[in-house]
Amino acid sequence: MTVGLALVHFPLLALAVWTLANGGPILNWIAYFTAAGLYFGQIMNSCAHELIHAGGRDRRALGRWIYVTLLFGHQTTAHPGVHHIHVATPEDPNTARYGEAWWVFCFRAWHGSFWKGLAVEKRRQRQAGRRGWDRRNPYWVYLGGGWMAMVLAWLMLGWTGIAAYVALCLLAQSQLLITDYVLHYGMRRAWMGERYEPVGPKHSWNAPHVVTNLLTLHAPRHSDHHAHPTRGFEALQIGEEAPLLPYSLPVMVTFALWPWWWRRVMNPRVDALSQARDTPMDSAVA
């Protein structure tokens, strides 16, 4: 299933950019832009996420190129190499702080994951006896592939093509980031003196709602994913200890767009888990 979705991603993305670049009635354009952004942001981000965790070089490469064409290639490194290792700690830019507004989080998470992912790849190159910016550093692919995609959009469709492409990618990226915001908001691992406690079911929010799980390849079954990153989405479960969101993921994303509403719903739930204000991680209110 994920391979099939990945293969149709590239022509669908080109078609979406072509349609948006050619304009049309404003209400139709807005509706198409929103629908395309939700598709690439929710379904294709979930597909790429599944593929970069999969076994087999070809499947991981497909996931990488989905992210590259969404101008988000560094996610291929930062998600497994930073987020999965440091989730629910100050070192993870993709864990939302207690009280942090979603737009503050999105800027911080994008910037932090890019640079921390780059540090991971440069360290890997040095450990292999090469320079940090060796040609085998995948950031060359992430950056070069993104620039090539933008140049192609310009050659085929002009500046309106680039504008449509970048806008669509930003909307898709925001879908992934706000999902991270919801699924890890306020979660903190306790400091054990020398290291943080191991990642457990209580360090991610989950949602059992059937339709959302099908559309996002069970991404809301998030605790099990962090416990078993290579487990296929079909096998993910929600355990008894996993904290549950009060509503489905789309509803919670809507709440997140209104910080006062979000805090009213979620802060008491975080407080009840005793994972926010009694840990060494700073809170942020914006």
- 85-126 pLDDT tens trace: 999 999 999 999 999 999 999 999 999 999 999 999 999 999
Which two three-digit tokens encode residue 86? 């440091």
Q: Which of 1-10, 34-43, 144-153, 236-245 has the lowest mean pLDDT?
A: 236-245
The mean-pLDDT minimum among 13-22, 41-50, 117-126 falls in 41-50
Residue 285: is its pLDDT beyond 80? no
> Residue 38 above 70 pLDDT?
yes
Q: What are the residue ranges spanned by the domains of the chain?
A: 2-272
Tokens 């952004």 sit on residue: 37
Residue range 251-266: average pLDDT?
Answer: 95
Residue whose structure tokens are 């355990």 = 239
Look up residue 238 and give its two tokens. 């929600």
**pLDDT tens readout for residues 51-90:** 998 878 999 999 999 999 999 999 999 999 999 999 999 9
Percentage above 70 pLDDT, the chain:
85
CA 114 to chain centre: 12
What is the three-class DSSP state of 74?
A: coil
pTM of this prediction exceeds 0.85: yes
DSSP secondary structure string for all residues of 113-139: HHHHHHHHHHHHHHHTTS-TT-TT-TH
- Counts for the chain of helices (H) and strands (E), in that order: 12, 0
